[in-house]
Structure 1
Amino acid sequence: MVKLALSAAAYLIANAVGLLLATALLSGFQIDPLSFIIVVVAFSIIQAVLGPLVTKMSLKHLPQLMGGVALVTVFIGLFVTDLLLEGMVIGGIANWLAATLLVWLGSLVATILIPVYVFKQLAEEKKKAA
Protein backbone atom coordinates (compact mmCIF):
# COMPACT_ATOMS: atom_id res chain seq x y z
CA MET A 1 0.00 0.00 0.00
CA VAL A 2 2.83 2.38 0.92
CA LYS A 3 4.67 1.49 -2.28
CA LEU A 4 1.57 2.31 -4.35
CA ALA A 5 1.17 5.67 -2.59
CA LEU A 6 4.83 6.51 -3.15
CA SER A 7 4.55 5.50 -6.79
CA ALA A 8 1.48 7.71 -7.27
CA ALA A 9 3.21 10.63 -5.52
CA ALA A 10 6.28 10.20 -7.73
CA TYR A 11 4.06 10.15 -10.83
CA LEU A 12 2.25 13.34 -9.78
CA ILE A 13 5.52 15.10 -8.92
CA ALA A 14 7.08 14.03 -12.22
CA ASN A 15 4.14 15.42 -14.19
CA ALA A 16 4.24 18.61 -12.12
CA VAL A 17 7.93 19.02 -12.97
CA GLY A 18 7.21 18.52 -16.67
CA LEU A 19 4.36 21.02 -16.67
CA LEU A 20 6.43 23.55 -14.70
CA LEU A 21 9.26 23.16 -17.20
CA ALA A 22 6.92 23.89 -20.10
CA THR A 23 5.44 26.85 -18.21
CA ALA A 24 8.89 28.29 -17.50
CA LEU A 25 10.31 27.87 -21.01
CA LEU A 26 7.35 28.55 -23.31
CA SER A 27 5.90 32.03 -23.38
CA GLY A 28 2.43 30.98 -24.59
CA PHE A 29 2.11 28.03 -22.22
CA GLN A 30 0.41 29.15 -19.02
CA ILE A 31 -1.09 27.42 -16.03
CA ASP A 32 -3.07 29.47 -13.55
CA PRO A 33 -1.29 29.17 -10.19
CA LEU A 34 -4.58 28.59 -8.35
CA SER A 35 -5.52 25.67 -10.58
CA PHE A 36 -2.03 24.15 -10.92
CA ILE A 37 -2.73 21.18 -8.64
CA ILE A 38 -6.01 20.43 -10.41
CA VAL A 39 -4.25 20.60 -13.79
CA VAL A 40 -1.49 18.24 -12.60
CA VAL A 41 -3.97 15.73 -11.16
CA ALA A 42 -6.23 15.85 -14.24
CA PHE A 43 -3.27 15.55 -16.62
CA SER A 44 -1.88 12.62 -14.61
CA ILE A 45 -5.20 10.78 -14.57
CA ILE A 46 -5.71 11.35 -18.29
CA GLN A 47 -2.21 10.06 -19.01
CA ALA A 48 -2.66 7.03 -16.77
CA VAL A 49 -5.84 6.10 -18.66
CA LEU A 50 -4.50 6.93 -22.13
CA GLY A 51 -1.13 5.17 -21.80
CA PRO A 52 -2.42 1.60 -21.96
CA LEU A 53 -5.10 2.57 -24.48
CA VAL A 54 -2.62 4.17 -26.90
CA THR A 55 -0.24 1.25 -26.42
CA LYS A 56 -2.95 -1.30 -27.22
CA MET A 57 -4.17 0.66 -30.24
CA SER A 58 -0.67 1.08 -31.62
CA LEU A 59 0.14 -2.62 -31.18
CA LYS A 60 -3.00 -3.57 -33.05
CA HIS A 61 -3.17 -0.93 -35.79
CA LEU A 62 0.19 0.85 -36.05
CA PRO A 63 3.15 -1.00 -34.49
CA GLN A 64 5.56 1.66 -35.78
CA LEU A 65 4.09 4.05 -33.21
CA MET A 66 5.32 1.98 -30.25
CA GLY A 67 8.53 4.02 -29.91
CA GLY A 68 6.57 7.23 -29.52
CA VAL A 69 3.70 6.06 -27.33
CA ALA A 70 4.84 8.26 -24.44
CA LEU A 71 5.01 11.34 -26.66
CA VAL A 72 1.61 10.63 -28.19
CA THR A 73 0.17 10.07 -24.72
CA VAL A 74 1.61 13.37 -23.45
CA PHE A 75 0.29 15.23 -26.52
CA ILE A 76 -3.21 13.79 -26.13
CA GLY A 77 -3.07 14.35 -22.37
CA LEU A 78 -2.20 18.01 -22.87
CA PHE A 79 -4.96 18.35 -25.47
CA VAL A 80 -7.66 16.79 -23.28
CA THR A 81 -6.53 18.69 -20.18
CA ASP A 82 -6.60 21.94 -22.16
CA LEU A 83 -10.13 21.14 -23.35
CA LEU A 84 -11.43 20.24 -19.90
CA LEU A 85 -9.81 22.90 -17.73
CA GLU A 86 -9.74 26.64 -18.15
CA GLY A 87 -6.68 27.01 -15.92
CA MET A 88 -4.28 25.94 -18.67
CA VAL A 89 -3.52 27.67 -21.97
CA ILE A 90 -1.07 26.09 -24.39
CA GLY A 91 -0.99 28.55 -27.29
CA GLY A 92 -0.14 27.83 -30.92
CA ILE A 93 1.02 24.73 -32.76
CA ALA A 94 4.69 25.39 -31.96
CA ASN A 95 3.83 25.52 -28.26
CA TRP A 96 1.84 22.28 -28.54
CA LEU A 97 4.82 20.46 -30.01
CA ALA A 98 7.40 22.06 -27.73
CA ALA A 99 5.21 21.51 -24.66
CA THR A 100 4.82 17.84 -25.57
CA LEU A 101 8.59 17.40 -25.70
CA LEU A 102 9.27 19.46 -22.57
CA VAL A 103 6.59 17.81 -20.45
CA TRP A 104 7.73 14.38 -21.63
CA LEU A 105 11.40 15.15 -20.96
CA GLY A 106 10.76 16.80 -17.59
CA SER A 107 8.53 13.94 -16.48
CA LEU A 108 11.03 11.36 -17.66
CA VAL A 109 13.95 12.92 -15.80
CA ALA A 110 11.86 13.45 -12.67
CA THR A 111 10.52 9.88 -12.82
CA ILE A 112 14.10 8.59 -12.83
CA LEU A 113 15.50 10.95 -10.20
CA ILE A 114 12.66 11.18 -7.64
CA PRO A 115 12.69 7.54 -6.52
CA VAL A 116 16.48 7.39 -6.54
CA TYR A 117 17.12 10.50 -4.47
CA VAL A 118 14.00 11.71 -2.66
CA PHE A 119 12.42 8.44 -1.54
CA LYS A 120 15.75 6.80 -0.80
CA GLN A 121 16.69 9.76 1.42
CA LEU A 122 13.32 9.56 3.22
CA ALA A 123 13.82 5.83 3.83
CA GLU A 124 17.32 6.45 5.23
CA GLU A 125 16.04 9.20 7.54
CA LYS A 126 13.27 6.89 8.77
CA LYS A 127 15.83 4.16 9.54
CA LYS A 128 17.99 6.64 11.46
CA ALA A 129 15.01 7.83 13.51
CA ALA A 130 14.02 4.27 14.48
Structure 2
Amino acid sequence: MITFLIRAFIFLASAALGLLVADLLLPGFRIDWSNWWGFVLAIVIFATLQSVLSPWIATVARRNAPALLGGIGIFSTLIALVIVVLIPGAGLTIGQPFLLTWVLAPVIVWLVTALATLFLPMLLLKKRLDERRDKKAGAAGA
Protein backbone atom coordinates (compact mmCIF):
# COMPACT_ATOMS: atom_id res chain seq x y z
CA MET A 1 0.00 0.00 0.00
CA ILE A 2 2.84 2.36 0.85
CA THR A 3 4.48 1.65 -2.50
CA PHE A 4 1.19 2.47 -4.26
CA LEU A 5 0.98 5.81 -2.45
CA ILE A 6 4.60 6.59 -3.29
CA ARG A 7 3.97 5.78 -6.93
CA ALA A 8 0.86 8.02 -6.93
CA PHE A 9 2.95 10.80 -5.41
CA ILE A 10 5.62 10.24 -8.07
CA PHE A 11 3.01 10.47 -10.81
CA LEU A 12 1.61 13.72 -9.38
CA ALA A 13 5.11 15.13 -8.83
CA SER A 14 6.15 14.28 -12.38
CA ALA A 15 3.03 16.02 -13.73
CA ALA A 16 3.82 19.07 -11.59
CA LEU A 17 7.41 19.14 -12.86
CA GLY A 18 6.27 18.87 -16.46
CA LEU A 19 3.84 21.76 -16.07
CA LEU A 20 6.40 23.87 -14.19
CA VAL A 21 9.09 23.39 -16.84
CA ALA A 22 6.63 24.31 -19.59
CA ASP A 23 5.71 27.42 -17.59
CA LEU A 24 9.39 28.37 -17.33
CA LEU A 25 10.30 27.68 -20.97
CA LEU A 26 7.25 28.79 -22.95
CA PRO A 27 6.11 32.41 -22.85
CA GLY A 28 2.52 31.48 -23.79
CA PHE A 29 2.18 28.75 -21.15
CA ARG A 30 1.06 30.34 -17.89
CA ILE A 31 0.34 28.97 -14.47
CA ASP A 32 -1.79 31.30 -12.34
CA TRP A 33 0.26 31.56 -9.14
CA SER A 34 -2.22 33.91 -7.46
CA ASN A 35 -4.43 30.91 -6.72
CA TRP A 36 -2.15 27.99 -5.85
CA TRP A 37 -5.15 25.68 -5.39
CA GLY A 38 -5.83 26.14 -9.09
CA PHE A 39 -2.38 24.76 -9.85
CA VAL A 40 -2.94 21.81 -7.51
CA LEU A 41 -6.25 21.19 -9.28
CA ALA A 42 -4.48 21.37 -12.64
CA ILE A 43 -1.88 18.82 -11.48
CA VAL A 44 -4.49 16.36 -10.18
CA ILE A 45 -6.71 16.68 -13.24
CA PHE A 46 -3.76 16.46 -15.64
CA ALA A 47 -2.26 13.40 -13.91
CA THR A 48 -5.63 11.66 -13.73
CA LEU A 49 -6.37 12.35 -17.38
CA GLN A 50 -2.93 11.10 -18.38
CA SER A 51 -3.41 7.85 -16.48
CA VAL A 52 -6.81 7.28 -18.11
CA LEU A 53 -6.15 8.61 -21.61
CA SER A 54 -2.84 6.86 -22.35
CA PRO A 55 -4.13 3.27 -22.13
CA TRP A 56 -7.39 4.18 -23.88
CA ILE A 57 -5.64 5.96 -26.75
CA ALA A 58 -3.16 3.07 -27.02
CA THR A 59 -6.04 0.61 -27.39
CA VAL A 60 -7.75 2.73 -30.04
CA ALA A 61 -4.50 3.24 -31.94
CA ARG A 62 -3.57 -0.45 -31.74
CA ARG A 63 -6.91 -1.36 -33.35
CA ASN A 64 -7.18 1.43 -35.92
CA ALA A 65 -3.77 2.99 -36.56
CA PRO A 66 -0.82 0.95 -35.24
CA ALA A 67 1.65 3.40 -36.81
CA LEU A 68 0.56 6.02 -34.26
CA LEU A 69 1.52 3.95 -31.19
CA GLY A 70 4.83 5.77 -30.80
CA GLY A 71 3.18 9.17 -30.32
CA ILE A 72 0.57 8.15 -27.79
CA GLY A 73 2.29 9.81 -24.83
CA ILE A 74 2.52 13.17 -26.55
CA PHE A 75 -1.01 12.90 -27.93
CA SER A 76 -2.52 12.02 -24.55
CA THR A 77 -0.53 14.90 -23.02
CA LEU A 78 -2.01 17.26 -25.62
CA ILE A 79 -5.56 16.08 -24.88
CA ALA A 80 -5.00 16.35 -21.11
CA LEU A 81 -3.63 19.90 -21.55
CA VAL A 82 -6.61 20.92 -23.67
CA ILE A 83 -9.04 19.66 -21.03
CA VAL A 84 -7.15 21.29 -18.13
CA VAL A 85 -6.99 24.62 -19.98
CA LEU A 86 -10.75 24.48 -20.61
CA ILE A 87 -11.60 23.89 -16.93
CA PRO A 88 -12.25 27.20 -15.19
CA GLY A 89 -10.21 27.64 -12.06
CA ALA A 90 -7.60 25.04 -13.01
CA GLY A 91 -4.93 27.74 -13.02
CA LEU A 92 -3.49 27.01 -16.45
CA THR A 93 -3.72 29.08 -19.62
CA ILE A 94 -2.07 28.81 -23.01
CA GLY A 95 -1.81 32.01 -25.02
CA GLN A 96 0.48 33.76 -27.51
CA PRO A 97 2.43 32.57 -29.44
CA PHE A 98 -0.58 30.31 -29.72
CA LEU A 99 0.43 27.70 -32.31
CA LEU A 100 4.05 27.43 -31.15
CA THR A 101 2.97 27.03 -27.53
CA TRP A 102 0.38 24.36 -28.37
CA VAL A 103 2.98 22.43 -30.38
CA LEU A 104 5.82 22.69 -27.86
CA ALA A 105 3.86 22.44 -24.59
CA PRO A 106 2.81 18.78 -25.00
CA VAL A 107 6.32 17.80 -26.06
CA ILE A 108 7.96 19.56 -23.10
CA VAL A 109 5.41 18.36 -20.54
CA TRP A 110 5.55 14.80 -21.89
CA LEU A 111 9.36 14.70 -21.94
CA VAL A 112 9.78 16.11 -18.42
CA THR A 113 7.00 13.89 -17.07
CA ALA A 114 8.56 10.80 -18.67
CA LEU A 115 12.01 11.61 -17.30
CA ALA A 116 10.64 12.41 -13.84
CA THR A 117 8.62 9.18 -13.81
CA LEU A 118 11.82 7.33 -14.66
CA PHE A 119 14.16 9.02 -12.17
CA LEU A 120 11.94 9.94 -9.18
CA PRO A 121 11.33 6.28 -8.23
CA MET A 122 15.08 5.74 -8.15
CA LEU A 123 15.38 8.57 -5.66
CA LEU A 124 12.28 7.92 -3.56
CA LEU A 125 12.16 4.13 -3.63
CA LYS A 126 15.91 3.48 -3.43
CA LYS A 127 15.81 2.41 0.21
CA ARG A 128 12.86 0.08 -0.39
CA LEU A 129 14.54 -1.45 -3.45
CA ASP A 130 17.77 -1.95 -1.50
CA GLU A 131 15.82 -3.72 1.27
CA ARG A 132 14.18 -6.05 -1.25
CA ARG A 133 17.50 -6.73 -2.93
CA ASP A 134 19.08 -7.56 0.46
CA LYS A 135 16.18 -9.92 1.30
CA LYS A 136 16.57 -11.73 -2.01
CA ALA A 137 20.31 -11.99 -1.59
CA GLY A 138 19.83 -13.33 1.94
CA ALA A 139 17.23 -15.86 0.79
CA ALA A 140 19.41 -17.00 -2.10
CA GLY A 141 22.43 -17.44 0.19
CA ALA A 142 20.47 -19.53 2.74
Question: Which residue of the partner structure matches residue 127 of structure 1?
Answer: none
CA shift, 1:84, in A, is 1.5
Does 2:104 match 1:101?
no
- Divergent runs of 4+, >4 A: 121-124
Say if 1:59 and 1:66, in contact at 8 Å, map to a contact too. Answer: yes
CA shift, 1:122, in A, is 7.8
Where does structure 1 lack aligned partners over 5 or more consecutive residues?
125-130
Question: Which residue of the partner structure matches residue 92 of structure 2?
Answer: 88
Q: What secondary structure is seen at the aligned counterpart in 2 of 1:30?
A: strand
Greater mean alpha carbon deviation, residues 81-90 or residues 50-59: 81-90
- TM-score, normalised to structure 1's length? 0.89
Say if 1:74 and 1:100, in contact at 8 Å, map to a contact too. Answer: yes
The within-5 A match list for 1:27-46 is 27-33=27-33, 34=36, 35-46=38-49
The within-5 A match list for 1:1-130 is 1-33=1-33, 34=36, 35-86=38-89, 87-91=91-95, 92-120=98-126
Equivalent-residue separation in structure 2 for 1:29 and 1:110 (angstroms): 20
- Give % identity: 32
Alpha-carbon distance change, 120 to 65 in structure 1, aligned in 2, over 3 angstroms: same
Amino acid corresponding to residue 2 of structure 2 in structure 1: V
Where does structure 2 lack aligned partners over 5 or more consecutive residues?
131-142
CA shift, 1:118, in A, is 2.8
Alignment RMSD (CA, Å): 1.6
Work out the number of aligned pairs and report it: 124
Equivalent-residue separation in structure 1 for 2:127 and 2:28 (angstroms): 36
Say if 1:39 and 1:85, in contact at 8 Å, map to a contact too. Answer: no
- Larger gyration radius, structure 1 or structure 2: 2
- TM-score, normalised to structure 2's length? 0.82
